[in-house]
Amino acid sequence: MQSKKRTKGLISRVLSLTDEKALELLKTVYMNFFDRHKDIVSVFVENFDKVSEHISEGQEVSNVKKQLIGAYFTMEYSVESAALFNPSIVPHPNQEGIAEGDLRFILSLRATGEGHISSIVFRSGIIHKDGFILLNPVSEFVETPKIRHDQSYIRHVFQLKLEHMKAWNDTSMRVFKELPEPFSFNELNSCIAAVKKDKTAGYDKETITNILWLADSNYFIKFDSKNNISERVIFPFSKNESNGIEDARFVQFFDENGETVYYATYTAYNGVCILPQLLMTKDFVFFDIVTLNGESVQNKGMALFPRKINGKYVMLSRVDGVNNYIMYSDHLHYWDRAEIIQEPKMPWEFVQIGNCGSPIETSEGWIVITHGVGPMRQYALGAILLDLKNPAKLIGHLEEPFLTPNEEEREGYVPNVVYSCGSMIHNGKLIVPYAMSDITSRIATVDLGELIARMKRV
């Protein structure tokens, strides 16, 4: 992030150029970069608008210099240069125009680029009736979405989250004293500014940072629906995500009113701490991102069930980093209680176990793909079966993993790992996309009936 002084200095240097020199430089930039972007002029104009507040009031700037300033504040980033892994698969919201028995899908992946910063990227394709999987071509372009903060925040909910973050103290009380219910991002900033200006009392800088981090982590993004889905990248937009967005677990959720929505839990990381987040979309164009709250959402690996059970939302988690837990809640954003449903029993999972995505409903029960960590930190994929009406009850499990890393899959950024963030069933087959050693991904298919038959009943 450019400092104000540095930003003003750079703008001043560009404005000092003669019109002829500025035009010459802009033409050179066009020549070198126009074919790498769909509309590079719009990119330059948009980035100029972001820094235009640093130009003196009344100073006229030519279109050429506006675009040139925008170019100086534009940089390319290779989203997938380091790795493409930890995939999750869901049915596409649009199933029109495909043959009977086929299924169009969306695959989400964790992409890692420069600085080891992770984003969420997407692929699409079709699973044919015979099981053949066809991935659609990947675009050469990347789209930057439109972003805006929540129009309003619920005061008491915001306070609860600050309490969970251990950030509710004298400073935060003073900030919230004058805030209405609900309040806007601008109103929050005004109250923070008032606390900072109050010379009669000091304030805790870390608390102010935490308040802004939390507010910054609830936002909306919108992509252009005309663009290829592989161009849509959910990049770490908030400060709490500055070091990456990790392991999104997508699920197609069926609401009680018959509507379908897609949710994804993921982990935001700012280099110091993690923040569990929930993403919601109906069309993979418009996304709503909110923070998850509660004592039981303080770790990674949360996976939402695809529907309510007995009137409650249900989610799997790994609260302690070792065991599989289940949680129930009346509200999608709040999770306070968790109970263990599975502990490591087999040698290949002695180190830890966890889910590999949302449970899948079958007539036999809820199938959960799990990961286990054994000797030499080798990850393997297993499966458990939970009772349909009472998913806290484990009714079956594989004694041996159904997928372990072969020799080709063992080398990578994190060796000896196979891992998935979400599977689905199609025509009696379990479709399991999985990552190989945190560097690239594959898709495996497993006969569903055979998998269930191999489970040891509890």
| 58-106 confidence digits (pLDDT tens) | 899 999 999 999 999 999 989 999 999 999 999 999 999 999 999 999 9
Lowest-confidence pick of 3-12, 120-129, 233-242 = 233-242
User: In 82-239, which residue ranges form alpha helices assigned H by DSSP?
Assistant: 155-164, 170-177, 185-197, 205-216
Residues sharing a CB contact under 8 Å with residue 277, sequence separation 6 or more, in sequence order: 217, 241, 245, 265, 266, 267, 268, 289, 290, 291, 292
The pair of structure tokens assigned to 65 is 């210099």
Show the tokens assigned to 328.
Answer: 């129930």
Span 43-72, average pLDDT: 95
pLDDT surpassing 60 at residue 2: no
Interatomic CA distance for residues 366 and 348, integer angstroms: 22
- 385 CB-near residues (< 8 Å, 6+ apart): 364, 365, 366, 367, 368, 394, 395, 396, 397, 452, 455
How many CA atoms lie within 13 Å of 259's alpha carbon, on the beta-carbon side?
A: 7
Given pLDDT bands bounded at 50, 70 and 90, which one contains residue 1? very low
Residue with tokens 């966890």: 354
State the Cα–Cα distance between residues 182 and 158, nearest whole angstrom.
Answer: 10
| Integer Cα distance of 304 and 327 in angstroms | 9
| pLDDT tens-digit readout, 300-310 | 899 999 999 99
Work out the average pLDDT over 17-40: 96
Strands 260-269 and 274-281, how do they pair? antiparallel
The DSSP H or E segment spanning 433 is: strand 429-436
Instruction: Measure the CA–CA gap between 383 and 451, rounded to whole angstroms.
Output: 8
Note the pTM of the prediction, 2 decimals. 0.89
For range 239-257, the mean pLDDT: 85
Query: Is 366 in contact with 388 (CB distance < 8 Å)?
Result: yes
Q: Are 351 and 374 in contact (CB under 8 A)?
A: yes
Residue 106: how many other CB atoms lie within 10 Å: 20
